[in-house]
Amino acid sequence: MAKTPEGLREELLATDEEFRSLYDKHQACERRLTELHQKSLLSEKDELEEKQIKRQKLFLKDQMEAILRQRRTEEAPA
């Protein structure tokens, strides 16, 4: 039986060091964005940081999705 996307993600978090590292970095980006959004007004430096973090976060998500796709392909019946 195929795993749900959430189930596969949880399994990878528990067993795959690379996936867990990417996830942790993605969560750190999310926390920093939350901190930035709590400011009433962003400086130019803050706006630049926000854009860089968003790009980094998207890059990390893409890498995690690639791992998920690869694992689903490996587990798919032939």
- Phi and psi, residue 63, nearest 5°: -65, -40
Q: Residue 75's pLDDT band (boundaries 50, 70, 90)?
A: confident
Q: What pLDDT sits at residue 76?
A: 75
Question: Above 50 in pLDDT, residue 1?
Answer: no
Decide: 67 and 75 in contact? Cβ < 8 Å. Answer: no
Q: What pLDDT sits at residue 44?
A: 97
Decide: 23 and 62 in contact? Cβ < 8 Å. Answer: no
Q: What pLDDT sits at residue 67?
A: 97
CA distance 78 to 75: 9
- Report the half-sphere exposure of 19 (CA within 13 A, side-chain side): 17
User: pLDDT tens digits for 8-50?
Assistant: 999 999 999 999 999 999 999 999 999 999 998 999 999 999 9
CA distance 41 to 64: 32
Q: What pLDDT sits at residue 43?
A: 95
